[in-house]
Amino acid sequence: MSSRIATLALMTLLGVGLPAQAENLAHIQQLLSTRQCQNCDLSDAGLVYANLERADLTRANLNRANLNRANLSYANLQGANLAGARLSSANLSGADLRGADLRGADLREAFLTDVKLEGANLQGANLLGAVGVPTDLLTPEQLYIWGLTESQRGNLSGAIAYLNQSIERRPDFAHAYLARGIVRFQMQDAVTALSDAQQAQQLYQAQGNAQGQQASMQFIEGVEQYQAAAERADRRANRGVSAGDRFIHFLGGLVGLMLRFVL
């Protein structure tokens, strides 16, 4: 029995639809051997680490395909269906994704330098940590959320970088100032943390945001109390330690609150 017949027999036993699956396997083999697979059905294909540099995948169906860490530099993906595809850490530098469907695609830490994205649908795509993302794709709100996400992951310097970009794009974004103040305090920079929180408080007041104003005022009071306790000679006393512990717990709750401000 040939290997192809054996494969088809196994598919029959598993109840897998033969025509679609057989065609899918043939298209995967065609892609890997020739890098030419226009209009191919590659849905759910496992292509992790695949070297597909300059491959022609025009209008290919890559729905839910696993392309994590694949090399797709300068690939032609015009009109391709990449909805739900996994492209984490993939190299898409110089790739042509014009008109591609990238809804819900995982593009975390992907390389997107010089990528062509005109007409592409990126609704719900995860671009966290992606390199070379076109600036017009990044909203202040998106950068703010990424900053909070990096903070929760413990990547404080990365959080600051995203929050800085958020503020650059929207100088009156009070949430971003307060979030940056929280992160700076976590980095033991109480002076600039207090400055950010005061700026946030002023913006919240001007914008009539009572919830934000209350949160920023609580944070300011907490930082000031913490600074006062640190300056006292008896800072190691039980009262000082418990106050510091309470403030650290308060910070954790405040970060959770910040996540709900934009959404």
Kindly state which CATH superfamily the domain 140-262 is placed in: Tetratricopeptide repeat domain (1.25.40.10)
pLDDT tens, residue by residue, 13-56? 333 333 445 558 999 999 999 999 999 999 999 999 999 999 99
Backbone angles phi, psi at 104, to 5 degrees: 70, 10
End-to-end CA distance of the chain: 58
pLDDT tens digits, one per residue of 114-152: 999 999 999 999 999 899 998 888 889 989 989 998 898
Quick one: how far is CA 44 from the chain centroid?
22
* pLDDT tens string 189-239: 999 999 999 999 999 999 999 999 999 999 999 888 888 877 775 555 555
Q: Is 149 left (phi over 0), alpha (psi -120 to 50) or beta?
A: alpha
Whole-structure pTM value: 0.69
CB 261 within 8 A of CB 212: yes
pLDDT at 119: 95
CA distance linking residue 87 with residue 105, whole number of Å: 7
1-136 topology per CATH: Pectate Lyase C-like (2.160.20)
pLDDT at 24: 86
Q: How far apart are CA 85 and CA 125, in angstroms?
A: 10
Question: Domain map of the chain by residue range?
Answer: 1-136, 140-262
Cβ–Cβ < 8 Å for 263, 191: no
